[in-house]
Each structure stands twice: as structure tokens, then as C-alpha cells.
Amino acid sequence: MCTYLIERLKEGLKTLGVLNALEVHSSSMEELFCGGAPPLLAASLLDLFTIEYSQRGSSRRALEEVTIGYWRDWIIQVEDGDAAVELEGGEKIEITLEDVLVFASGASAIPPFGFVENPTITFLHEDLNGNRRMFPEANTCAITLKLPIGHEYEDFCHFMTSGIIQSPVFGVA
């Protein structure tokens, strides 16, 4: 009886190609069906994004490479629990790697089979009026994270942390 039920289940899973996916991607499927996504790590978040640099040798590229160094160090700070903004009165609000991922993608975990769109990092150079944009921006539809450039490391950390903390009100009706 038990063997018959297992064979019926397999036939049903074959219908939409699920059985094949289970066999080919067994470790991902285990996460999906048996306990959810693993904890988000700095290394996973850093590996997730493709960086869209300006032309090699340009002054823009030099600024972008410095910014990516800041980004990597800041993500490690976030993982260590050292990224916070202090409010008046001394209260601190910390952010997590999940907060960063939600800001960039709208998702609180990396999907088992990855995102449909390849997440990218671009840079916020001066706007048309020559003003520097201080806070990070994101397009969650295209999964594009836009990093501010031209800051010292401490300022970069402050603007990234503050921008992400202030972002949950976006899109709330």
C-alpha cells in the first residue's frame, strides 16, 4: 500500500516537472520544504550583486571602486551588529542584513533559486544640478541598489544606515 502511494505521489510531481527539480536541486529543495532559507550572511549578500562600474580608468570609476570598498566594509559592520543610528535621547536603531536585502529587493531572504532579475549595484553620481545624493536608493522591481559616492567612510556608513532605517515608510498606504 505504501509503495503504491509513493508511486502516485511521484507521478503527480512529474506532471509539472517538480520531481525533476527535486532530483536536480535537492539541497535547494530541502531548504524550501524543510525549514526555510539559511541565515543571511555578509558573504551571501556581497556575492548576490553584480556591480555596474563606469569605464575603467575614468574618474567616476575610481570613486566607484572606493565606494565598493566602503560597501563591503559596511556590510561586515551590519553583520557584526555595528550599524546603527543614534536618536536624540541616546536610543540606537540597528539594521540587519535582512533590512539591507529588503531595501534593495523587497525580499527578506534570498529565494532558493535566486532572483528572476540579477541584482545589481549602480552609483549615485551628481544629479543634473551638480548636487551630491547622500542616501542610497533602490529599485525593487529591477533589484538595483544605488550607492552614494564621494563620502568619507564614516559618512557613507551613516547615510547608508539612516537611509535604510527611514525607508520602511516608502510605499506604505
Q: What CATH number is given to the structural domain containing 52?
A: 3.30.2410.10
* 80 and 130 housed in the same domain: yes
* 21 and 101 housed in the same domain: no
pLDDT digits (tens, 9 = 90+) for 158-167: 999 999 998 8
* Total domains in the fold of the chain: 2
Cα separations in angstroms, 94 against 16, 87, 98, 124, 152: 43, 11, 12, 24, 21
* 68 and 144 housed in the same domain: yes
What's the pLDDT at 171? 47
Res 27 pLDDT > 90: no
Indicate the burial class of 103 (C-beta count within 10 angstroms; 0-12, 13-18, 19 or more).
buried
The domain in which residue 26 lies consists of 2-33
**Strand-pair category, 144-148 with 120-124:** parallel
Cα separations in angstroms, 162 against 20, 76, 92: 45, 17, 11
* 58 and 86 housed in the same domain: yes
Beta bridge partners of 86: 92
* 92 and 153 housed in the same domain: yes
**Strand-pair category, 92-94 with 120-124:** unpaired
Q: How confident is the model at residue 32 (pLDDT cuts 50, 70, 90)?
A: low
* 63 and 8 housed in the same domain: no
Q: Per mean pLDDT, which range of 62-66, 80-84, 144-148, 153-157 is the poorest?
A: 80-84
What the block records as the C-alpha cell of 109 is 531572504
Report the run of H or E that residue 119 belongs to, with start and end.
none
pLDDT digits (tens, 9 = 90+) for 121-166: 999 987 767 778 899 999 999 999 999 998 899 999 999 999 999 8
